[in-house]
Chains A and B, each alone.
Chain A
């Protein structure tokens, strides 16, 4: 196991609602990245947090927002849910350095929007 945990495991929401997903990083890691994986697709980068600040963002609208806490855990918030937001949401933790470091993925949260 990677030591990265996510909650909840599954979630069902309706269009227009808001959702918060949580991620607990692997011990010693200071960077969290979030990804959205739709069925049959590869994960798509949403954004990354380093030292509690957003440190890069993919092509996602502002209704996708996040937080990173002092203990390096993180939240992904999605407002005004749309049907296309139904996906597996993955977080990955790593130690940010100048050199490439391995990212460790959590098991994901499967979100269904009805």
Chain B
């Protein structure tokens, strides 16, 4: 079992819809959770961090964390074609550095 798992996609949504990206992790002791956006050929850009159970909203983005079920999700409201990218989930387990999932590719159709 991978430490951080994401569906590779592509996840295709129409413009204006809500995109829902999911991530599960295996280490119950995980402390910090992050979502990155990576455009093709570019480096990852941090878009959300979440540390405690519940929802955290920032503009069109909402991160949701459920430690009991060991999943973290990212909702993107009013999706735009410019949101088309690969979204990486990253988890800090307290050991070394962040552990990254392999990413979900999102396509927003105009």
Chains A and B are bound partners: no
